[in-house]
């Protein structure tokens, strides 16, 4: 059975197509320069400047003086469940049910454990419950998560000062207040 191209155009067309396909697969031919002549300069595609005439590119390296990069607090959307639990905890704390408020905040922390504000709110609840040592620990945890957020860090240091004062650590409370003022 003959193909349509063979029937319509005959063998010469097929031979031409085969030659074109094979020619496209062939490697470019290299012709060495004639003796006594200088080879043409090598030009890279898109460069336009012979390789020999190009200036060397200095190596990339680190700047000699480090440039400080200001850290901004990361603003990320809160999961809806965390927002709902935070609202519930606030209402429970305002109603005087500190145990329920703490439980709601702990549930929110299980959802978003890297949220510095949740740790701060739980620390305030623990301080209101009369557990200043736990409040200080949670405020310290909040500080570790609030990198670059100086407002949150200042709130945490003020809470730490109140916790230390309730533990009769006046020197520690003053130090915490000094650190809070330094962040403002």
**pLDDT, tens digit, 9 for 90 and up, residues 58-91:** 555 555 555 555 555 556 688 999 999 999 999 9
Tokens matching residue 130: 């009369």
pLDDT, one tens digit per residue, over 13-54 is 556 655 555 555 555 555 556 666 665 555 555 555 555 555
Q: How far apart are CA 127 and CA 121, in angstroms?
A: 10
Domain that includes residue 176, residue range: 80-183
**Domain-located, residue 139:** yes
**pLDDT value of residue 78:** 86
Could you tell me which residues come within 8 angstroms of residue 167 by beta carbon, excluding any fewer than 6 positions away?
Answer: 132, 133, 136
Give residue 26's Cα distance to chain centre.
48
Query: What residues form DSSP beta bridges with 120?
Result: none
**pTM of full prediction above 0.85:** no
Q: How many domains does the chain have?
A: 1
Contact 115, 108 (CB under 8 A): yes
Q: Which residues contact 172 (CB under 8 A, 6 or more apart)?
A: 161, 164
What 3-state class would DSSP assign to 50?
A: strand
Whether 143 maps to a domain, the answer reads yes
């Amino acid at each position: 059975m003959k193909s349509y191209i063979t029937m319509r155009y005959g063998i010469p067309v097929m031979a031409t197509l085969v030659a074109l396909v094979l020619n496209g697969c062939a490697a470019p031919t290299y012709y060495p320069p004639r003796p006594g002549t200088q080879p043409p300069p090598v030009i890279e595609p898109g460069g336009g400047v012979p390789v020999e005439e190009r200036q060397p590119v200095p190596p990339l390296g680190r700047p000699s003086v480090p440039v400080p990069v200001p850290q901004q607090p990361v603003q990320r959307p809160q999961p809806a469940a965390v927002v709902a639990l935070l609202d519930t905890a606030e209402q429970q704390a305002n109603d005087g049910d500190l145990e329920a408020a703490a439980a709601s905040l702990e549930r929110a922390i299980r959802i978003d454990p890297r949220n510095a504000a949740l740790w701060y709110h739980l620390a305030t609840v623990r301080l209101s419950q009369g557990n200043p040592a736990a409040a200080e620990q949670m405020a310290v945890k909040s500080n570790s998560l609030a990198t670059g957020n100086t407002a949150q860090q200042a709130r945490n240091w003020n809470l730490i000062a109140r916790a230390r004062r309730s533990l009769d650590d006046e020197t520690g409370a003053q130090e915490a207040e000094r650190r809070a003022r330094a962040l403002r």
